[in-house]
Amino acid sequence: MAPAVVPSEEIRAAYLRLSRAWQMRDRAAIEDLLSFEPYVMSVGSDPREWWQGPDDHAAHLAHLEELPPYRQEIDPADVVAYACGDTGWAVGRVHLRFDTGADFVLRTTGVFVIERGHWRVVHWHNSIGVRNEEAIGVSLTTSIQRTERAVRDARPDVQTAAAPDGTVTLMFSDIESSTVLLERLGDTEFVRLLGWHDAIVRDAAGEHRGYIVKSRGDGFMIAFPSAAFALRCGSTIQQRLGGGYEGANVRVRIGLHAGEALRHSDDFYGRTVVIAARIADLALGGEMLASELVHELTRGLGTFRFGEPRTTHLKGLEGEFRVYPVDDSLLVDAP
317: domain CATH number is: 3.30.70.1230
Together in a domain, 171 and 314: yes
- pLDDT digit string (tens) for 29-41? 999 999 989 999 9
One-letter amino acid at 264 equals H
What is the structure's pLDDT at 157? Answer: 67
Together in a domain, 172 and 228: yes
Neighbours of 21 (CB within 10 A): 18
Together in a domain, 108 and 165: no
- The answer to whether residue 17 scores a pLDDT higher than 50 is yes
Together in a domain, 204 and 316: yes
- pLDDT digit string (tens) for 35-69? 989 999 999 888 888 988 888 777 778 888 898 99
- pLDDT digit string (tens) for 181-234? 887 788 888 889 999 999 999 999 999 999 998 888 889 989 999 999 999 999
What is the structure's pLDDT at 265? Answer: 58
Greater confidence, 202 or 266?
A: 202
Lowest-confidence segment of 217-221, 320-324, 329-333 by average pLDDT: 329-333
Together in a domain, 94 and 205: no
- The answer to whether residue 87 scores a pLDDT higher than 60 is yes
What is the structure's pLDDT at 288? Answer: 94
Together in a domain, 122 and 166: no
- The answer to whether residue 79 scores a pLDDT higher than 50 is yes
Together in a domain, 172 and 198: yes
- The answer to whether residue 239 scores a pLDDT higher than 60 is yes
What is the structure's pLDDT at 312? Answer: 86
First to last CA, the chain: 64
Greater confidence, 255 or 80?
A: 255
Rounded to whole angstroms, the Cα distance separating 255 from 175 reads 12
Q: Provide the domain count of the chain.
A: 2
In this prediction, residues 262-268 reach a mean pLDDT of 57
What percent of the chain shows pLDDT beyond 90?
Answer: 43
CB 255 within 8 A of CB 239: no
- Length of the chain counted residue by residue: 335
List Cβ neighbours of 75 (8 Å cut-off, separation of 6 or more).
Answer: 93, 249
Greater confidence, 200 or 134?
A: 200
Together in a domain, 56 and 158: no
Greater confidence, 153 or 221?
A: 221
What is the structure's pLDDT at 333? Answer: 42
What is the structure's pLDDT at 334? Answer: 39
Hey, is 169 helix, strand or coil? Answer: strand
21: domain CATH number is: 3.10.450.50
Together in a domain, 98 and 156: no
- Looking at residue 139, the DSSP 8-state letter turns out to be P
Q: Is residue 248 part of a domain?
A: yes
Range of the domain at 224: 138-325
What is the structure's pLDDT at 235? Answer: 93
Together in a domain, 116 and 258: no
What is the structure's pLDDT at 40? Answer: 93
In this prediction, residues 292-304 reach a mean pLDDT of 88
CB 22 within 8 A of CB 34: no
Q: Is residue 331 part of a domain?
A: no
Together in a domain, 56 and 154: no
Lowest-confidence segment of 74-78, 218-222, 236-240 by average pLDDT: 74-78
- Looking at residue 116, the DSSP 8-state letter turns out to be T
- The answer to whether residue 101 scores a pLDDT higher than 80 is yes
Q: Is residue 332 part of a domain?
A: no
Q: Is residue 296 part of a domain?
A: yes
Boundary residue ending a domain (78, 96, 128):
128
Boundary residue ending a domain (74, 109, 128):
128
Together in a domain, 123 and 164: no
